[in-house]
């Protein structure tokens, strides 16, 4: 466990449990969060890839956007994103982004339309922890008087991730009907929960939204299973890096567009045709002509990892970009990284050099994800 922490850090409903389990606690986005437990980051990472890891993600922002009817609420969200939410079916989720007028990314978000009456008037949205206040102010400043953004306090959020997650959760809740990016209201050990088949590790898994008062009991029940290991922020980061998933504030921010970040899939076909989303002129031009730079994966030669901020250059010299995330891949046994390079050097197989602590290392532009996604799709399309 860490030593003295700032007194103004917020604590999740699982704070006591984390400390009982020997977590090393660190400040993160204004919260006291576990970076690792007794087993260590590599063990937590590999266990999640092999069995199931339980993550506390209660620091994320949970909000509801509501209107007099669903179409009004969905149209309000479309005014600040490039997604198709008017066409979102009950019980389904979509990944999207809040965009500036210049087409750069304010935050990436998960949006869900709940089944039943709750989905008749609004949408549930999850914001990144470090961007909650920014996102709330931005969305509210763009709403009409008949649409309301409600912030949910007193809530918790857990993520159960890994190939064993479904078997574990099925012993506690009726999840048989859930496919990737489905969400439903489900009882879990007598707690009223929203459960989605989603996550940010590249593995099959679930995210569980529940009252703070139930979180400790539910988490302990899941951890009673021998397949489940508590996992901290350290392994969450290495897992999402292997999965090629960008982290806001590192791989994407208000200087990057969705096309540069290789997130063009989140720009809905209908919105491309209508061109009625923020920054559409720039983004549509980049979709047609290509951006000046692109987010790429890098596999480094040798054993030394590259970290955020390391410059990327041509083999012949001359800086062409920079690393935004990097580390050693426990699954692959080699250093990997993500970053941006000039588009002419973004082809898979291109050779580049990365400067790490005064040393020049060779690297290869590599297809993302580094480790294949294993999402569960009941009816693949």
Q: What is the pLDDT of residues 234-282, one digit of tens each?
A: 999 999 999 999 999 999 999 999 999 999 999 999 999 999 999 999 9
Domain boundary pick from 241, 260, 282: 241
Confidence of residue 379 (pLDDT cuts 50, 70, 90): low
Q: Is residue 259 part of a domain?
A: no
Where in the sequence is the domain holding 23, given as residue range(s)? 10-59+154-241
Domain count for the chain: 3
**Whether residue 91 sits in one domain with residue 106:** yes
Which residues 6+ apart lie within 8 Å of 337 measured at CB? 241, 297, 298, 300, 305, 306, 310, 323, 325, 326, 327, 354, 363
pLDDT greater than 50 at residue 2? no
**Whether residue 296 sits in one domain with residue 362:** yes
Contact 232, 272 (CB under 8 A): no
* Backbone torsions φ then ψ of 364, nearest 5 degrees: -120, 135
d(CA 1, CA 6): 14
CATH number at residue 334: 2.40.30.110
pLDDT greater than 70 at residue 1? no
d(CA 275, CA 281): 7
Domain boundary pick from 101, 117, 142: 142
**Whether residue 71 sits in one domain with residue 53:** no
Contact 245, 200 (CB under 8 A): yes
d(CA 259, CA 267): 9
- pLDDT digits 0-9 by tens, 10-49: 999 999 999 999 999 999 999 999 999 999 999 999 999 9
């Amino acid at each position: 466990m860490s030593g003295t922490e700032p007194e103004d850090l917020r604590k999740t409903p699982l704070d006591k449990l984390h400390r009982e389990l020997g977590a090393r606690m660190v400040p993160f986005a204004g919260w006291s969060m576990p970076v690792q437990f007794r087993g260590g980051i590599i063990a937590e990472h590999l266990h999640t890839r092999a069995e199931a890891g339980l993550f506390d993600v209660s620091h994320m922002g949970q909000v509801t956007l509501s209107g007099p009817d669903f179409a009004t609420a969905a149209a309000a969200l479309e005014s600040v994103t490039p997604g198709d939410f008017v066409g979102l079916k009950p019980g389904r989720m979509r990944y999207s982004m809040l965009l500036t007028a210049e087409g750069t990314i304010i935050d990436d978000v998960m949006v869900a339309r709940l089944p039943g009456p709750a989905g008749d008037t609004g949408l549930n949205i999850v914001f990144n922890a470090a961007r909650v206040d920014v996102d709330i102010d931005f969305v509210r400043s763009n709403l009409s008087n008949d649409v309301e953004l409600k912030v949910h306090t007193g809530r918790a959020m857990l993520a159960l991730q890994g190939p064993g997650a479904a078997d574990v959760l099925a012993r506690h809740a009726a999840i048989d009907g859930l496919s990737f990016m489905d969400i439903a209201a489900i009882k879990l050990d007598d707690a009223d929960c929203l459960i989605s088949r989603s996550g940010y590790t590249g593995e099959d898994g679930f995210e569980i939204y529940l009252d703070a008062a139930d979180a400790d009991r539910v988490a302990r029940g899941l951890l009673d299973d021998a397949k489940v290991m508590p996992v901290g922020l350290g392994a969450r980061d290495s897992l999402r890096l292997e999965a090629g998933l960008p982290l806001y504030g590192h791989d994407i921010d208000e200087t990057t567009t969705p096309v540069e970040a290789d997130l063009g899939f989140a720009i809905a076909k209908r919105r491309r045709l209508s061109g009625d989303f923020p920054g559409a002129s720039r983004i549509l031009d980049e979709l047609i002509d290509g951006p000046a730079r692109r987010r790429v994966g890098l596999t480094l030669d040798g054993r030394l990892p590259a970290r955020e901020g390391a410059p990327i250059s041509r083999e012949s010299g001359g800086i062409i970009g920079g690393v935004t995330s990097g580390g050693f891949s426990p699954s692959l046994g080699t250093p990997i990284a993500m970053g941006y390079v000039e588009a002419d050097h973004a082809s898979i197989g291109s050779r580049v050099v990365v400067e790490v602590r005064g040393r020049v290392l060779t690297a290869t532009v590599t297809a993302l994800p580094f480790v294949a996604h294993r999402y569960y799709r009941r009816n693949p399309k």
